[in-house]
Amino acid sequence: MEALTNFLNQLSNWLYAPYALPALLVAAGAYLTYQTGFVQIFRFGTAVKHALGGMFEKKSETQGEGTITSFQALSTALASTVGNGNIGGVATAILVGGPGAIFWMWVTAAVGMATKYSEAVLGVHYRVKTETGELASGPMYYITNGLVGKSYAKPLAYMFCIFGAATALLGTGNMAQSNTIATTFVGAAKQSFNVDVSPVVPGLIITIACGLVLLGGIKRIAMVSEKLVPSMIVVYLGMAIIYVAMNFAEIPSILALIIGNAFTPSAAAGGFIGAGVSQAIAAGVSRGVLSNEAGLGSAPIAHGIAKVNHPAEQGLVGVFEVFVDTIVVCTMTAFIILSSGMWTAAEYQQSSGDLTAAALQSQIPGAGLIVALCSFLFGFSTLIGWCYYGEKCFEYMFGLKGIKPYRALYTVLILVGAVIPVPLVWAIGTLLNGFMAFPNLVALIFLGNVVAKLTREYFSGKRTA
């Protein structure tokens, strides 16, 4: 296991070197920021208004063709993005890349808002009806339908689907979630009740719960996400705000620590062995992509089937999604971990969500149990959302006959993820995320002019689909 983990980490170090995927992500995001007229800045207020307004919109009032409402699409996408990457992913980013990794996570989110906007716009614009009469969307469709006549379009679409399905089955969409749920649950039981619990127990619970929801397909997933996502974010943020208020005076020093270590190596401290700037960039970008999924190509699979009158409407929802996930939730988690000082402790150097739980528990009695509950809810929501993403990749490649075997395999791997070592799970997930993002980013760059055209059309008042 250790040899395999080291090999995968070496591949990840190459893929996430500053000149490789991070450069492509930032370049694509900057290009799309320009093409959209800096949508994440000048249209941010509209994005917030549009996203939150959908929460109170009655389904009977929803206009436009689509399978689920705009808010259900946001909830399904947030269900996948606001997951254990926000609890465990932030922790592993700091442990691998030092405090400076958080700065690079912010950079990824800043340009990622325009990237996610573009993904959602293209997802709606190029969506198709399948043989069952349902809508289907995602990079595989905007690649093949947007790059018509290009010899590389079909191979690029299949490349996305292969790595998308692999990420859903083996990576951050599945096993990383059940793994963090299990480790956080086991840690909370030990800290709060001094009881040793096998990771198989939480693994079985989450596997059964997910299996029951997945039987109902996207409409049941959307209905569950619509109710679950806002509640779980409020619970976690409520506890995080209490912690931040208790340690408010430390905010300036934590910000200085993050920014300072983004450009200079992090010194060794306690059990933390130190990290170079390249490690900070790699950890921040990789965990940033893991968390907000901007550029990954997963979210447009859900955003693309929303009921909207114009693609840009759902694009604005994508801007809000990245802001909530990374700028709000991940930043709160980072402050909790860094202000606690526990990230330098030797016993937490192989941790993920259990480090976040321990940091909160150090000042808020019972917080470990609440984090365990949040980890369960975050992971549960991500698991059901990512099952749909992988299912659509399988459907594109194999047709309807591939769906049932895929769902069965996905459910089994939830339990597998709960019991294998933490470093191996995150190594697999990080690597697959990078491979999945590449074909999507290439397509976004080629289709940036389409995004620009649709954006100008929408904001000029020509809002017909």
Query: Virtual CA dihedral for 442, 443, 446, 451, nearest 10 degrees?
Result: -130
Return the residue matching tokens 């990374």.
326
Q: Decide which of 1.10.8, 1.20.120, 1.20.1740, 1.10.530 is the CATH code for 2-459.
A: 1.20.1740
According to the 3-state scheme, what is the secondary structure of 310-370?
CHHHHHHHHHHHHHHHHHHHHHHHHHHHHHHCHHHCHHHCCCCHHHHHHHHHCCCCCHHHH
Q: Where are the domains of the chain?
A: 2-459
Per-residue pLDDT at 119? 97
Instruction: Give the tens place of pLDDT for each residue, 336-349.
Output: 999 999 999 998 99
Q: What average pLDDT does range 121-125 have in this prediction?
A: 97
* Bridge partners, 272 (sequence order): 269
| Residue 162 clears pLDDT 60, i.e. is over it | yes
Top-confidence range, 62-76, 182-196, 312-326: 312-326
Return the residue matching tokens 């950890």.
283
Do 200 and 419 form a contact (C-beta atoms < 8 A)? yes
Per-residue pLDDT at 60? 45
Is pTM beyond 0.75? Reply is yes
Amino acid residing at 449: N
Instruction: Give the tens place of pLDDT for each residue, 344-383.
Output: 999 899 887 789 988 999 999 888 888 888 878 877 878 8
Return the residue matching tokens 């509209």.
46
Instruction: Give the tens place of pLDDT for each residue, 242-260.
Output: 999 999 999 999 999 999 9
Amino acid residing at 246: M
> What three-state secondary structure class fits 127?
coil
Q: CA 391 to CA 407: how far, in whole Å?
A: 7
**Residue 81 or 171, more confident:** 171
Q: CA 225 to CA 206: how far, in whole Å?
A: 15
Distance of CA 121 to the CA centre of its chain: 18
DSSP 236: H
Do 109 and 327 form a contact (C-beta atoms < 8 A)? yes
Per-residue pLDDT at 82? 66
| Residue 61 clears pLDDT 70, i.e. is over it | no
Q: CA 178 to CA 181: how far, in whole Å?
A: 5
Instruction: Give the tens place of pLDDT for each residue, 399-445.
Output: 988 888 898 899 999 999 888 876 787 788 788 888 999 999 999 99
How far is the first Cα of the chain from the last one, in angstroms, to the nearest whole number?
51
**Residue 109 or 180, more confident:** 109
| Residue 464 clears pLDDT 60, i.e. is over it | no
